[in-house]
Amino acid sequence: MNMPIATPTRHASAEILERILAARGNLIALEGGEDAGLIEQLRLLVRRTGQAIYLWNPEKGLGNLREEHAGLPGSQRLSITLRYIQQSNHFGVYLLQRPPVPMAMGDATVLRQLARATTGHVRRIVLLDPPAPLVTSFSDVLVRLSCQPELSQRPRLRDGRWVLA
């Protein structure tokens, strides 16, 4: 039985963004982002709040979610985008759509450096629905998140104490 996946509401996309920013690592695998229409919801959120969120895909390159048509010229190659992210000293969440598999050795090295960076400013690199080989190759520095809402647990009274069940 196929169940349609509901698109996230503005509240859900804000919650996903908060989870991305609160993640303990800089490299994040976000599962279910493509299916849930997360990019369009984040685009609306960015326009309203002014957050610095960027989207990279192999066809268009790197661009700001706020301005759809303004992009970094010549950034269709992942290596150029990763070097741009590495040289940036500003806050940013970078969504990477359909990264190449297998990833070039130089790109993988730069991505690992970004994942291990401990500078004061926040830079999060988010792999949207990454393929399994990519997740396993970066498993030591990768944080996995899901777009699916966490099931809310209702408190129950058990033996005189409130517990989540």
Rg (CA), the chain: 17
Distance CA 113, CA 89 (A): 15
Q: Say if pTM beats, i.e. exceeds, 0.85.
A: no
Helix, strand, coil abundance in the chain, percent, nearest 5: 30, 25, 45
Specify the DSSP class assigned to residue 77: S
Write down the pLDDT at residue 146.
85
Structure tokens at 43: 């685009």
Which tokens in the block code for residue 14?
A: 């804000």
- Quick: pLDDT tens for 49-91: 888 899 999 999 999 888 867 778 888 899 999 999 998 888 8
Phi, psi values for residue 104, rounded to 5°: -60, 150
Instruction: Spell out the per-residue pLDDT of the chain, length 165, in tens.
Output: 454 444 444 467 888 888 998 888 999 999 886 665 788 888 888 888 888 899 999 999 999 888 867 778 888 899 999 999 998 888 899 999 999 989 999 999 999 999 998 776 778 999 999 999 999 999 999 999 887 765 556 777 888 888 766
